[in-house]
Amino acid sequence: MSEAGQDRILVLGIGNILWADEGFGVRVVEEFHRRYAVPDNVTILDGGTQGLYLVNYVEDADALIVFDAIDYGLAPGELKLVRDDEVPRFTGAKKMSLHQTGFQEVLSAADLLGRYPKRLALIGCQPLDLEDWGGPLTEPVRAQIEPAIRLACELLVQWGAPPVPRTEPLAPAERLLANDIDHLNYEMRARSA
């Protein structure tokens, strides 16, 4: 339960783990959750490829952090933080993400409902390979999981909700992606395939 007056913060990873670097956002949020505990006003969500219906979570958030694989036309593995008003402007200008129709629709729908987040940060990584069906994250993109998490931590500190490194390892049942599709297990199979 969040205390009165406290902003509700949503940390959301989106993407498709079956499509190589397209899974970046989900893998970041999975790892973030594995390593950090967050205050009660922060929600961590694996949004997968849910599309428009993520609006029901976004509309409840005062502040939103989104991890995603985004085509900015940069070098593969380059990380970019886009904030607030730049987000819709940017997405409108160029096709940035494979499921961007999905997420831009979510933001637009929240806007039309009159419940657009007050603060918004999009942490995007330039993908290298989106064609490798069932494949792992590529090295340059995998290398950005750590920096993406650091960026999110800085934002959460600025927003008064600092994450705390877990002292006890997260129980398997508490993981975001369980049942063998967590990053390590999934990619071991993807590589041996």
Partner 1 sequence: MGIQTPNGFNLDNSGKRIVVDPLTRIEGHLRVEVNVDSNNVIRNAVSTGTMWRGIETILRNRDPRDAWAFTERICGVCTGTHALTSVRAVENALGISIPENANSIRNIMQLCLQVHDHLVHFYHLHALDWVDVVSALKADPKATSALAQSISDWPLSSPGYFKDLQIRLTKFVESGQLGPFKNAYWGHAAYKLPPEANLMAVAHYLEALDFQKEIVKVHTIYGGKNPHPNWLVGGVPCAINVDGTGAVGAINMERLNLVSSIIDRCIEFTEQVYLPDVAAIGSFYKDWLYGGGLSGKSVMAYGDIPENANDYSAKNLKLPRGVILNGNLKEVLPIDHADPEQIQEFVTHSWYKYPDETKGLHPWDGITEPNYQLGPNAKGTKTDIKELDEGGKYSWIKAPRWRGNAVEVGPLARYIVGYAQGKPEFKEPTEKFLKDLNLPVTALFSTLGRTAARALECQWAARQMRYFQDKLVARIKAGDSSTANVEKWKPESWPKEAKGFGFTEAPRGALAHWIKIKDTKIDNYQCVVPTTWNGSPRDPKGNIGAFEASLMDTPMADPEKPLEILRTIHSFDPCLACSTHVMSPDGQELATVKVR
Using CB under 8 A, list all residues that contact partner 1: 16, 19, 49, 52-53, 55-56, 59, 88, 92, 98-99, 101-102, 104-105, 107-109, 111-114, 130
Return the bridge partners of 80, or none: 124
Cα–Cα distances in Å, from 192 out to 136, 181, 182, 187, 188? 11, 15, 16, 8, 6
Euclidean distance between CA atoms 159 and 164, whole angstroms: 14
Nearest distance in Å: CB 154, partner 1: 28
- State the Rg of the chain over Cα: 16
Nearest distance in Å: CB 129, partner 1: 13
Exposed, middle or buried: residue 18 (CB in 10 Å: 0-12, 13-18, 19+)? middle
Nearest distance in Å: CB 151, partner 1: 25
Q: Nearer to partner 1 by C-beta: 92 or 160?
A: 92
Q: Nearer to partner 1 by C-beta: 2 or 49?
A: 49
Q: Nearer to partner 1 by C-beta: 1 or 133?
A: 133
Q: Nearer to partner 1 by C-beta: 104 or 155?
A: 104
